[in-house]
Amino acid sequence: MGKRKSLLLFFLSVFLISLAQPGLCTVKKEKEKKEKKDKQVSTVVLPVIFYMPETRWGLGGGGLLSYRSKAAPPEQRPSTLLFQAYYTQNKQYGIEVWPEAYLKNEAYLVNGYLKVSKFPDKFWGIGNDTPDLEEGLEDEDYLNYTPKIFNFDLSVQKRILKEERLYAGVQFKYENFDIVETAPMGLLVSGETTGSAGGKLASLGFLITWDTRDNIFYPLSGNLFQLNVDFYTPTFGSDFKFTTIKMDLRKYFTTFPSHVLAIQALLWNVSGEPTFRHLAEIGGEMIMRGFYQGRYRDHSMYALQAEYRVKIWKFIGMVAFAGVSNVADKIGNLSIDNTKYSLGLGLRFCVVPKEKTNIRLDYGFGKGTSGMYITAKEAF
């Protein structure tokens, strides 16, 4: 998307949501008394509209549902359901659902993810130095490919320390993907890239989570440390054999009233023979905003990100963020040479004040790249 179109859509979206927002918060306040008498449920549904060269116009909707039982104490974590669906002029579609449930007074934590989609993507190759296209060359001839994907993930964790939110458990991941269209002069045409013909993936793994955040949607203080290890193997029905290890460390500080500094360190390593789609990658709405998701990918990646969050008026907030990242063929070769950087600004709109749930609009950029993001929940 051109920079001018991205900026126009960004500010148009800010204007539309700012008009809708007071009504949402007012409705929420009017329902608070009823919710106290009944089960505590909060629901927000918003339209989604976008334009990209690969899709033309797209339209859909999304929302967030959070739930606490009537007997739950105020400090207990809510169970949530995040969902979205969209369709485009080019007959592309996506349906995604993210449930998260705290059971038996937070003794168990269950997470899921379900996705069905057909959506264009880009592949520049593998490595830290994959070049941009030269002027005059077209993405559809060299970079574009379209995967059709079905994803299902499920994890179950048990709280292992009563005094702390320290969880450990197992997770299962399944994916079936087909490459239904490929750029005629792209790197995937030869079939030499692992995963270029599609396939099935299945893994069994474990995860450990230590969560001391004061709020899961908009933390003011605390930590979130998580370790994920996944083993993809034919034993579980996978066409590919590889192992992924991901360490995600987050820290939150309240610096002044209504001011928060959030910091994230991420280390991601993939060993074995993964598909090109399952390598460690930079970009997207969570990691290094401003870079196309997967712009750089390889077997190892690190990222350091920081975000300063400020509440500026009632239900509106503002953030400034920055990050650095790099990829390499193995952890030992990760370095600061050719480090990628990301900078940006964003706005936050409170849609469920009780849970501190925000809709975020971010505009990020790096060297020769930029991107705009409209989504729910914080990047980290």
With pLDDT > 90 as the criterion, what percentage of the chain qualifies? Answer: 62
Tell me how far apart the alpha carbons of residues 29 and 278 are, in angstroms, rounded to a whole number.
Answer: 44
Grouping H, G, I as helix, E, B as strand and the rest as coil, residue 331 is helix
pLDDT at site 307: 98
Which whole number is the average pLDDT over 53-81? 80
Output 51 or 262, whichever has higher pLDDT: 262
Res 207 pLDDT > 70: yes
Determine whether 265 is exposed, middle or buried from the number of CB atoms within 10 Å of its CB (0-12, 13-18, 19+): middle
- Whose CA is closest to 355, among 99, 103, 65? 65
C-alpha–C-alpha distance, residues 129 and 111, integer Å: 36
Buried b (16+ CB within 10 A) or exposed e, 148-178: bbebebebbbebeeeeebbbebebebbbebe
In this predicted structure, what is the pLDDT of residue 279?
A: 98
pLDDT for residue 45: 83
**Gap between the Cα atoms of 196 and 311, Å rounded:** 46
How far is CA 121 from each of CA 55, 144, 287, 293, rounded to the nearest angstrom?
Answer: 11, 6, 17, 9
Residue 78, token pair as written in the block: 């809510």
Residue pair 110/103 in contact by the 8 Å Cβ criterion: yes
CA proximity to 77, closest of 172, 169, 209: 209
**What would the 3-class secondary structure string for 225-275 be?**
EEEEEEEECHHHCCCCCEEEEEEEEEEEEECCCCEEEEEEEEEEEEEECCC
pLDDT band at 182 (very low <50, low <70, confident <90, very high): very high
Amino acid 356: pLDDT: 84
* pLDDT per position as a tens digit, 75-110: 788 899 989 899 988 788 999 999 999 999 899 999
Of 173 and 67, more confident: 173
Q: Where are the alpha helices (DSSP H) in 40-191?
A: 139-142
Instruction: Output the pTM of the full model.
Output: 0.84
Check residue 36 and report its DSSP letter.
H
Residue type, 273: E
pLDDT band at 321 (very low <50, low <70, confident <90, very high): very high
CB 232 within 8 A of CB 207: no
pLDDT on residue 139: 86
User: What is the pLDDT, as a whole number, of residue 39?
Assistant: 61
> Over pLDDT 70: what percentage of the chain?
88
CA gap 82, 66 in Å, rounded: 9
Task: Tell me the CA distances in angstroms from 130 to 143, 343, 371, one per residue in order.
Answer: 12, 21, 19
Contacts of 22 (CB under 8 A, 6+ apart): 315
pLDDT above 90 (res 278):
yes
Beta-bridged to residue 122, according to DSSP, are 144
Supply the pLDDT for residue 24.
37
Highest mean pLDDT among 17-21, 43-47, 129-133, 246-250: 246-250
| 294-310 tens-digit pLDDT | 999 999 999 999 999 99
pLDDT value for 85: 94
Residues 55-78: what's their mean pLDDT?
81
pLDDT of res. 114 = 97
With cut-offs at 50, 70 and 90, classify the pLDDT of residue 54.
Answer: low
Q: Where are the domains of the chain?
A: 3-123+138-376
Give the integer Cα–Cα distance in Å for 380 and 43: 22
Residue 19: what pLDDT? 42
Mean pLDDT score of the chain = 87
Most confident of the ranges 4-18, 39-53, 157-171, 265-279? 265-279
- The CATH number for 3-123+138-376, chosen from 2.40.160.50, 3.20.20.140, 3.40.50.620, 3.30.565.10, is 2.40.160.50
The counts of H helices and E strands in the chain are 2, 19
Residue 65: per-residue pLDDT: 86
pLDDT exceeds 80 at position 1: no
